[in-house]
């Protein structure tokens, strides 16, 4: 009798563990999703308002330095078959309210160093 219960429990455990890939898990995106097309619109000398118009508000503004903005996008995949987890970052530095440098995981356009008003 105990052997029969043990075999039933073992069989149930093995069959239920085989179904674990059938459970749907959602992807969890967090932060600012930045498209390469939008990042390519950035130019040196843009004002903070222009950057917000192009990219949206930053996720984090440095509390101690109002001239540094952080754009971070983090994707946690619910299921491995949809791809790996990833994170993209971009840091924009301002001086006198104008863009002086952009660093991060995105390619800047060739026209980045050409101000808009020239």
Yes or no: say if 87 and 17 are a contact pair by the CB < 8 Å rule: no
Per-residue pLDDT tens for 15-57?
A: 665 565 677 788 888 888 888 998 999 999 999 999 999 999 9
Averaged pLDDT of the chain: 85
Who contacts 15 (Cβ-Cβ below 8 Å, separation ≥6)? none
pTM score: 0.73
* Structure confidence at residue 6 (pLDDT): 79
Q: Would you kindly state where each structural domain of the chain is located, as residue ranges?
A: 27-111
CATH architecture group of domain 27-111: 2-Layer Sandwich (3.30)
Q: What is the DSSP secondary-structure string of 4-29?
A: HHHHHHHHHHHHHHHTGGGS----EE
Q: Is 90 exceeded by the pLDDT of residue 114?
A: no
Quick one: tokens of 2? 């105990």
């Amino acid at each position: 009798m105990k052997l029969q219960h043990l075999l039933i429990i073992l069989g149930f455990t093995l069959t239920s563990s085989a179904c674990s890939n059938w459970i749907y898990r959602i992807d969890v995106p967090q932060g600012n999703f930045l498209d390469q097309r939008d990042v390519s619109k950035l130019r040196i000398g843009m004002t903070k308002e222009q950057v917000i118009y192009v990219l949206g508000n930053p996720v984090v503004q440095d509390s101690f330095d109002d001239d540094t903005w952080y754009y971070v996008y983090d994707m946690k995949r619910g299921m491995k078959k949809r791809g790996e987890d990833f994170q993209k970052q971009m840091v924009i530095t301002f001086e006198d309210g104008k863009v002086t440098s952009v660093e991060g995981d995105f390619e800047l356009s060739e026209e980045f160093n050409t101000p808009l008003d020239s």
